[in-house]
Amino acid sequence: MPRSLWTGSLSFGLVNVPVALFSGVRDRDLHFRQLHAKDHTPIETHRFCAEEDEEVPYDEIANGYDETDDGEMVILTDAELAAAAPHRSRTIDIEAFVDLEDVDPIYFDHPYVVMPSGEAEGIQRAYRLLVEVMGRSDRAALGRVVMRTKEYLALIRAREERLVLTTLLWHDEVRPTDPVPTPTKKDKPAKKEVDAAIELIESFSCDWDPSRYKDEFQKRLRKIVNKKAKGQTIEIPDEKDEQPSPVPDLMAALERSLEEAKAG
């Protein structure tokens, strides 16, 4: 059983369910260590105080904020920081229920699995009740959770008879699209071009099936590591790829693409 990242309670009306949050993602990447070149001793990172040039144990580390107007550094301990929102650091209050389709994917952040914490029948029943009622409705619960000195807006839904939580970004954490260069009116495509493009899209349309995507980079990296372990040399591609140039005639390119699509 993995370690929980947060424990507290989920509160829905006057019903309180003690819960624990677990990460909804696991890391599948190959991990490297920094080694001392001469004897391959794994390097460790230690924390030192720059003032006295001494190593500092973890519990003597505090949070420094140095953007105050008078240029003084303000130091807050973790306990003091926790005073910012004592209630919300331990409770997720369900504030509202929303339709998932109304939440633009740009806000989705990190997924978690929410499990009941405690074996008491009352806790387990209350958890099941939430799963049951959310499973029957298309709505997702909206609440706030404070984890490691950051508050998140969070969506809670039922999946596979458990509750899952997705943290959301705040609206001011999503940048406006205005500064991004986009086409102007004179780039507006002709109707026949749009129709041909839609036909092309439709001919390559399918359902979302995440199991078909595999991380080829990691696969190749594993091969490279294995080759290297056997003492073989790794071929380094010597040239940078060139960016393909844009096509001169959009309609001609679309027509040829459609012909190729039909030919399979």
**Residue in 181, 262, 263, 264 binding other proteins, rule: CB under 8 A:** 181
What are the structure tokens assigned to 138, written together?
Answer: 């298309």
Q: How far is the CB of 193 from other proteins (least distance, A)?
A: 6
Tell whether residue 154 is a contact of other proteins (CB under 8 A).
no
**Residue in 5, 7, 232, 261 binding other proteins, rule: CB under 8 A:** 261
Q: Per-residue x/- mask for other proteins, residues 112 to 151, rule CB under 8 A?
A: -x-xx-xxxxxxxxxxxxx-xxx-xx-x-xx-x-x--xxx
**Residue in 184, 262, 263, 264 binding other proteins, rule: CB under 8 A:** 184
Q: How far is the CB of 229 from other proteins (least distance, A)?
A: 5
**Residue in 244, 262, 263, 264 binding other proteins, rule: CB under 8 A:** 244
Cα distances (angstroms) measured from residue 40 to each of 57, 121, 222, 224: 26, 53, 20, 19
Tell whether residue 62 is a contact of other proteins (CB under 8 A).
yes
Of the two residues 6 and 127, which places its CB atom closer to other proteins in the complex? 127
Q: b/e for 206-240, b at 16 or more Cβ within 10 A? A: eeeeeeeeeeeeeeeeeeeeeeeeeeeeeeeeeee
**Residue in 5, 6, 21, 38 binding other proteins, rule: CB under 8 A:** 38
Q: Per-residue x/- mask for other proteins, residues 196 to 235, rule CB under 8 A?
A: -xx-xxx-xxxxx-xx-xxxxxx-xx--xx--xx----xx
**Residue in 236, 262, 263, 264 binding other proteins, rule: CB under 8 A:** 236
Q: Which residues contact 234 (CB under 8 A, 6 or more apart)?
A: 224, 227, 228
**Residue in 3, 21, 171, 232 binding other proteins, rule: CB under 8 A:** 171
CA–CA distance, 26 with 11 (Å, rounded to integer): 27
Query: 12: burial class by Cβ within 10 Å (0-12, 13-18, 19+)?
Result: buried
CA–CA distance, 18 with 164 (Å, rounded to integer): 15
What are the structure tokens assigned to 4, written together?
Answer: 């929980």
Tell whether residue 264 is a contact of other proteins (CB under 8 A).
no
Tell whether residue 263 is a contact of other proteins (CB under 8 A).
no
CA–CA distance, 27 with 114 (Å, rounded to integer): 19
